[in-house]
Amino acid sequence: TFLPVLEHMYIYPECTKIICKKVFEIFEHRSEGFSINFSLSDIQNDDTRLFLFALFEKYPETASRCTIELLENEAVIDFKRVNDFFNLLKRYKVKSALDDFGAGFSNFAYLFNLHIDYIKIDGSIIQRLDDPKMAKLAKTIVTMAHDLEIQTIAEFVSDPMLLRHCQNIGIDLLQGYAIGYPAPHP
């Protein structure tokens, strides 16, 4: 809830850099993959981008386990600029994802115009997979993504029935309480 307020303040870019630095310091000593959410304004901020790429240089092995997720809080107007950013990520073996696909500003044109590795299907779709229309929509998203060699991730997979629905329509990766609850690292 604080991010939309913070995003309009002058300190937002500095907060983004502090969080990214802390994440890389923590994951340098761990083995899991991890994601960092970036807004369009983060991608467009030259200082933030340069800071992120400096982290990739300093922590190359850690960077190879990182995925940058583009948030759906504003429409992408300049696909070239965003793709230039995503293409730079690939140099460091960093993956890219489109978060909350099917909600907000995302649309199928994003799949054709952005060079991404994953799309995360929004929880509002996943949580309604028992509705035949929503299941058909999710299957269409999965088919289109797979045709474009993009992996799919289901958000909010909260129970065994949703897990089966996701598996039946061919979603590649799942996240939610049916998979596991948040827990501290041992």
Instruction: Check the CA dihedral 92-50-45-24 and report its sign.
Output: positive
138: left (phi over 0), alpha (psi -120 to 50) or beta: alpha
Q: What is the pTM for the complete model shown?
A: 0.91
Residue 116 CB neighbour total at 10 angstroms = 25
**3-class DSSP state for residue 71?**
coil
| CA 143, chain centre distance (Å) | 19
Percent of the chain with pLDDT over 90: 77
Lowest mean pLDDT among 40-44, 102-106, 143-147, 154-158: 102-106
Degrees (nearest 5) of the Cα angle 157, 37, 126? 20
Condensed to tens digits (0 to 9), the pLDDT of residues 82-116 reads: 999 999 999 999 999 999 998 876 678 888 888 99
Whether 53 and 88 have beta carbons less than 8 Å apart is answered as yes
pLDDT tens-digit readout, 29-72: 999 999 999 999 899 999 999 999 999 999 999 999 999 999 87
- Asked if 168 and 144 touch (Cβ cutoff 8 Å), the reply is no
